[in-house]
Structure 1
């Protein structure tokens, strides 16, 4: 099964005159995840994909973990300052590893790494569980 880790690269951008200046916090997070991914045991089971905007602008930095038939999780408020970046990226991969082992993708709060406990933005049910009303 292919799992995806989406990273918003617009998050924590600095804007001047309508243009992004420098490297966004989201891009820094993506770069760190890609670096760690080289030695991550699940790198062949997860695609790490950049997304220009995930529309959670008041909760930067934002990532989502998804797979067919599993819950999708959207996490925000992830710290990407110089002191926290490596810890945040490692915590995301730990959480993704737990996600991969669950048949439905459930990530109980108590089992999430600290940066992903308080930053939950959404837990979206698997597509087959969505009922059509009408």
Structure 2
């Protein structure tokens, strides 16, 4: 949505990467939710729920999760580069993110992921309709 309304891709992608995992970006994960406010030059990450607190360390550390390169995340439409990103504690529970960049890919690709659990097999297929 942020990209659809004209906000820069870097902050929008970074917000998406942080909020997709919910309260696991908090200092002590618990029940609740995460809200990401995307603005032209920043993202504010705010937890909602009793006892939830995001810190600069908990949000920045989340960037290491599931990625071989902690600064560049390859996506279907380009690369999110957080090598110059700055994290700032703005109050007791919220963190500001600035400096995230997005480099568009020359060609859009598709990412396939899979997992196997011994005992049974499941397949899930999903898609996004995008005229681009």
Normalising by structure 2, report the TM-score: 0.28
Between Structure 1 and Structure 2, the one with more helix by share is 1
Question: Which has the bigger relative contact order, CA under 8 A and spacing at least 6?
Answer: 1
Normalising by structure 1, report the TM-score: 0.28
